[in-house]
């Protein structure tokens, strides 16, 4: 499986560290002696079955290392366009350059080929956690697989994490920062996908996108995780799966200074 690291986010101008970080890029903040994006690459280096890695959103001269084949490319205008550009790069120079009769067109990925997507601002993710995600995504048969963490797991591990949770009838979850998707679907449902990405930190906006009935069920606490997935699938036309992760680290990002301090303390404790 190939991997895409999304690293194009920028620190807000009012962030006190933005002036000290090259280009104001969040992923170039140094935490525990390494940049955030390098920590994502370290996790991928320790993961099984990874072939190529593309980092989207860092300057080409950024010093990066990875145990796998590594490329960088600039970020596009939004996350979905960045994913599309990365997939175009993967398939244009993939292993299918010469194709026998009856095979997919040159450069086209196999119908079931997937890519792992890792956010560059989740520095506590490890290779073991990526293995967990990769294995289940490959076995799950979904077009898009995302991970989530239950409130009890998150708050037991990081009581002061200040994550946003969505309350369903059978779970209370926050979103993780690792996903997987079939390369062949990257151009489907693009406009709705963009709206979902823009609303990803607001569960009410997400529910509103899938219809008033779903929103009403969510507000009343009647919506189950399975019902939420089916509603999204009906709108976007793709098979979706949510993996509830036992690893709180997969949902621990550094969006706020307090979260950055928490992560720094955690990495110091790890040594």
Q: Give pLDDT, residue 228.
A: 86
* 204 domain-assigned: no
In a domain, 15, yes or no: yes
Inter-residue long-range contacts of 77-81, CB under 8 Å, 24+ positions, other chains counted: 78/194, 78/197, 79/6, 79/194, 79/197, 80/190, 80/193, 80/194, 80/197
Question: Is the Cα dihedral 229, 189, 94, 112 positive or negative?
Answer: positive
In a domain, 251, yes or no: yes
CATH number at residue 88: 3.90.550.10
Q: Does residue 223 form part of some domain?
A: no
Closest CA to 197 of 217, 181, 214: 181
- pLDDT attached to residue 189: 63
- The model's pLDDT over 99-154, given as tens digits with 9 standing for 90+, comes to 333 444 445 567 689 999 999 989 999 999 999 999 999 998 899 999 999 999 99
* In a domain? residue 72: yes
- Residue 31 in any domain: the answer is yes
In a domain, 233, yes or no: no
Give how many domains the chain has, as a whole number.
Answer: 1
User: Domain of 36?
Assistant: 2-146+175-187+242-270
**Which regions of the chain are under pLDDT 50?**
94-106
Structural domain includes residue 41: yes
């Amino acid at each position: 499986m190939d991997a895409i690291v999304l690293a194009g986010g920028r620190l807000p101008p009012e962030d006190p560290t933005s002036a000290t970080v090259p280009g104001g890029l969040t992923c170039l903040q140094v935490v525990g002696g390494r940049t955030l994006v390098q920590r994502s690459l370290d996790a991928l280096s320790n993961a099984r079955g990874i072939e190529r890695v593309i980092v989207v959103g860092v300057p080409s001269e950024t010093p990066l290392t990875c145990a796998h084949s590594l490329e960088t490319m600039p970020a596009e205008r939004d996350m979905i366009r960045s994913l599309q550009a990365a997939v175009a790069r993967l398939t244009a120079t993939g292993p299918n350059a010469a194709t026998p009769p009856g095979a997919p067109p040159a450069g086209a990925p196999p119908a079931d080929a997937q890519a792992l997507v890792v956010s560059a601002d989740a520095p506590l993710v490890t290779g073991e956690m990526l293995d967990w995600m990769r294995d289940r995504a490959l076995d799950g048969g979904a077009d898009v697989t995302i991970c989530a963490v239950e409130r009890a797991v998150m708050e037991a591990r990081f009581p002061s994490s200040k994550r946003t949770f969505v309350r369903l009838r059978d779970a209370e979850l926050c979103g993780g920062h690792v996903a997987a998707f079939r390369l062949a679907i990257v151009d489907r449902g693009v406009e709705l996908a963009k709206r979902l990405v823009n609303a990803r930190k607001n569960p009410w906006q997400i529910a509103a996108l899938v219809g008033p009935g779903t929103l009403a069920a969510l507000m009343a606490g009647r919506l189950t995780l399975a019902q939420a997935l089916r509603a999204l699938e009906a709108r976007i036309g793709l098979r979706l799966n949510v993996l509830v992760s036992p690893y709180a680290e997969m949902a621990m990002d550094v969006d706020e200074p307090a979260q950055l301090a928490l992560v720094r303390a955690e990495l110091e404790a790890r040594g």
